Amino acid sequence: MGLLLLSNEVDQLVVTENVSDTAVQLRALYHLSVELSALRSLGSVLKTALKHCLDLTGSQFGFIGLITADKTAIDVVEVQGFHPAREFYDHFRVIPLRPNLFSRVVLENVSVRTENALTDPRRVGQPQGHPGVKTFLGVPLRIREVPIGMIGVANRHLDYEVEHEHLLMTYAAQVAIVIRNAQLYEELVAAKADLEQKVAHRTHELQKAQEALAQKAAQLRQLFNETVDIQEAERQRIAQDMHDGINQLLIGAMLELKSGRERLAVGNLGQADNSLQAVQGILRNVETEIKRVIYDLRPPTLDALGLVSELRRYIQDFKQYTNLNCTVNIKGKSVRLPGQVEVSIYRLLQEALQNIYSHASAHRVRITICFTENDLELSVCDDGIGFDLNAVEQINSRHFGLITMRERAKSLNGRLSIRTQPGQGTSITLSVPLQPGHPKEN
């Protein structure tokens, strides 16, 4: 029995019996393939391909199924000539691959043709609601001989002939390639979208990092200006101290010496001695005053006695001065650190305690200094009112204590962690790595 395609206009393909015209068939297939290969989206490829298959074979309905990723089932991705209800389709669109009339097509990678599916011994039945299948033709969709799915057509009013089978096989070879291309194209589009999303995400992150950097730079600029101001104020204060304290005392001493000499000159030894004693007293005051100024600049006993002793002394003074309940706990064997490192740690503790005194309304303060093999950890915890760290660390903040602490920690290659919340107290921990070979403190 032959097959004639009366028109090479793809939409009007009509299949008749009796006459075989290979040239017409080839032309029709060519047109179908051209139309098919112009399509990009998988959805339109499937729609157009199945429509052509129904037209080519004069079938009542048909489907295209693709093997699922786990290769255990066929996913019916396109159905035509039968309009299943949504629930029916959702429920039956994935058909497990079992040896039956349909699945043989992909399991055995062969075409299957039957004149009566109802009586075919390979049949296993069909779900309720599915239109009755009588004549059936199924061909595999293959890429390099390996099946990726199948095309099934059914209910041609006459039997499917071997020509239908060949025609559908030839067309299926084209369809498989176009489906694969469409799949690859969709994967490419998805990969591109994914990449674009990642790029957008990275750009956003970069922007945020740049903003954070700009914020940090602004803070540092502010800090620098503030440091210059503080330095200037400190110089002024020292000059004032020298002028009002030491200078005045020295002037007093000189006047007293002058009067002592005058008393000596007139032989008034007793009064001359009084003057000398007064000068001695004044010079003692000068000495105390100079010590105070020097101490403010840099605690002199830090170098001599070491960090732990100096911290203890400072905490003791702080306790007396503030009446706060402070406990100090030293753990591990203390070691000496380079002078600048010890000063930085000392200043950091000063700032932490000053903050507690000025802001925390705390009752108890717990200070722990812990020396381990590799680092020194200083933590200062209070049970005060706590604060909103993010808000305080915002740009344009006029507070420099915490920023300076962070900068100090960084310059020591250390880490500073500030844990606080309004109403929850504050805990500040500095951790500084110990260089190998730091001498042990006595």
- What's the min distance (Å) between Cβ of 293 and Mg ion? 23
Under rule CB under 6 A, residue 62 binds ligand ATP = no
Nearer CB in complex with Mg ion: 252/401: 401
Can you tell me which of 48, 344, 426, 429 binds ligand ATP, judged by CB under 6 A? 426
Q: Are 59 and 153 in contact (CB under 8 A)?
A: yes
Of 295, 309, 296, 254, the C-alpha closest to 441 is 309
Residue 407 CA: distances (Å) to CA of 213, 258, 359, 416: 14, 53, 21, 9
Can you tell me which of 359, 406, 419, 438 binds ligand ATP, judged by CB under 6 A? 359
Can you tell me which of 74, 360, 367, 432 binds ligand ATP, judged by CB under 6 A? 360
The item of ligand ATP, Mg ion, none sharing an interface with residue 279, based on CB under 5 to 8 Å by kind, is none
- What's the min distance (Å) between Cβ of 355 and Mg ion? 4
Q: Which stretches does DSSP call E strand in 222-298?
A: none
- Residues 6 or more apart in contact with residue 386 via CB below 8 angstroms: 360, 420, 421, 422, 423, 424, 425, 426
- Tell me the DSSP string of 49-62: HHHHHHHHHT-SEE
Q: How far apart are CA 178 and CA 37, in angstroms?
A: 6
- What's the min distance (Å) between Cβ of 408 and Mg ion? 13
By rule CB under 6 A, what string of x and - marks binding of each residue 302-341 to ligand ATP? ----------------------------------------
Supply the DSSP symbol for 135: S
Instruction: Report which residue's Cβ sits closest to Mg ion.
Output: 401
The item of Mg ion, ligand ATP, none sharing an interface with residue 392, based on CB under 5 to 8 Å by kind, is ligand ATP
Q: How far apart are CA 68 and CA 94, in angstroms?
A: 8
User: Residue 84 is encoded by which pair of tokens?
Assistant: 């299943």
Under rule CB under 6 A, residue 384 binds ligand ATP = yes
- Residues 6 or more apart in contact with residue 42 via CB below 8 angstroms: 77, 179, 182, 183, 185, 186
Can you tell me which of 82, 88, 92, 400 binds ligand ATP, judged by CB under 6 A? 400
Number of residues counted as binding ligand ATP (CB under 6 A): 16
Can you tell me which of 42, 172, 345, 402 binds ligand ATP, judged by CB under 6 A? 402
Under the rule (CB under 5 A), what is the footprint of Mg ion? 355, 401
Of 380, 298, 277, 287, the C-alpha closest to 342 is 298
- What's the min distance (Å) between Cβ of 402 and ligand ATP? 4
Nearer CB in complex with ligand ATP: 58/384: 384
Under rule CB under 6 A, residue 382 binds ligand ATP = yes
Can you tell me which of 112, 387, 414, 431 binds ligand ATP, judged by CB under 6 A? 387
User: Residue 313 is encoded by which pair of tokens?
Assistant: 């002394």
Q: Are 45 and 39 in contact (CB under 8 A)?
A: yes
Q: How far apart are CA 76 and CA 150, in angstroms?
A: 9
Nearer CB in complex with Mg ion: 371/387: 387
The item of ligand ATP, Mg ion, none sharing an interface with residue 426, based on CB under 5 to 8 Å by kind, is ligand ATP
The stretch among 165-173, 246-254, 290-298, 356-364 that binds ligand ATP (CB under 6 A) is 356-364
Which residues would be at the binding site for ligand ATP (CB under 6 A)? 355-356, 358-360, 382, 384-387, 392, 399-402, 426
